[in-house]
Structure 1
Amino acid sequence: MSRLNFEDYLSAVKTLQEAGKTFVSVTLVNQQGSSPQEVGARALISAQGLEFGTVGGGKVEKRAIEEAQKMIQAQTPHLYADWNLQKDIGMTCGGVVSFFFELHEQNHPFSIYVFGAGHIAQEFVRMLTLLDCRITCIDPRQEWVDRLPKSSKLKTLCTDNMPALVSSIPDKAYITLMTMGHGTDLPVLVEVMKQRDRFTYVGNVGSDQKARRLKQDLLNAGLPQESLTRFFCPMGENFGTNSPVEIAFSIVAQILKTRDQNNEPA
Structure 2
Amino acid sequence: MFWQKHHELLESGRPFVLVILTEALGSAPQESGAKMLCDANGLIYGTIGGGKVEALALKTAADLLTNKSTTVFVDWHLERDVGMTCGGRVKLYFETYRAADWQIAIFGAGHVAQAVVAALLPLTCRIVCIDSRQDWLESLPESPQLERRLREAPAMEIHSLAPETFVLMMTQGHATDFPVLLECMKREQKFPYVGAIGSKSKRAVLVKELIAAGVDAHQADLFTCPIGLPLGKSEPAEIAVSVVAQLIQVRDARRADGQEG
Fold-level similarity (TM above 0.5): yes
Identify the range of structure 1 (232-241 vs 165-174) with the bigger mean alpha-carbon deviation.
Answer: 165-174
Aligned to 2:78: none
- Residues 227-242 of structure 1 mapped to structure 2, 5 A cutoff: 227-242=219-234
Aligned to 2:115: 123
1:44 to 35, 42, 45: 35
Aligned to 2:4: 11
2 CA distance for matches of 1:186 and 1:100? Answer: 47
Tell me the SS of whatever aligns to 1:262: helix
Aligned to 2:27: none
Tell me the SS of whatever aligns to 1:113: strand
Aligned to 2:202: 210
2 CA distance for matches of 1:215 and 1:23? Answer: 44
Unaligned runs of 5+ in 1: 1-7, 29-36, 80-88, 92-98
Unaligned runs of 5+ in 2: 24-29, 75-85
Q: Deviations over 1:139-198 (max 9, x none)?
A: 222222222112122222233322222222232211100111111111221112111633
2:167 to 157, 170, 175: 175
Q: Does 1:261 align with 2:256?
A: no
1 CA distance for matches of 2:92 and 2:138? Answer: 45
Distance 1:219 1:78, change over 3 A: closer
| Paired positions, count | 230
Tell me the SS of whatever aligns to 2:16: coil
Deviation at 1:14, TM superposition (A): 3.2
1:165 to 138, 147, 157: 157
Q: Does 1:220 align with 2:215?
A: no
Q: Is the 8 A contact 1:20 1:106 kept in 2?
A: yes
1 CA distance for matches of 2:2 and 2:134? Answer: 40
Distance 1:75 1:242, change over 3 A: closer
Q: Which TM-score applies when normalising by structure 1?
A: 0.68
Q: Is the 8 A contact 1:166 1:192 kept in 2?
A: yes
Q: Does 1:104 align with 2:95?
A: yes
The higher radius of gyration belongs to 1
Identity %: 33
Q: Is the 8 A contact 2:105 2:129 kept in 1?
A: yes
Q: Is the 8 A contact 2:70 2:97 kept in 1?
A: no
Q: Does 1:191 align with 2:183?
A: yes
2 CA distance for matches of 1:186 and 1:163? Answer: 9
Deviation at 1:252, TM superposition (A): 1.0
Tell me the SS of whatever aligns to 1:206: coil
Tell me the SS of whatever aligns to 1:202: strand
1:21 to 16, 33, 40: 16
1:112 aligned partner, one-letter code: I
Tell me the SS of whatever aligns to 1:114: strand
**What is the Cα-based RMSD across aligned positions, in Å?**
4.1
Q: Does 1:132 align with 2:132?
A: no
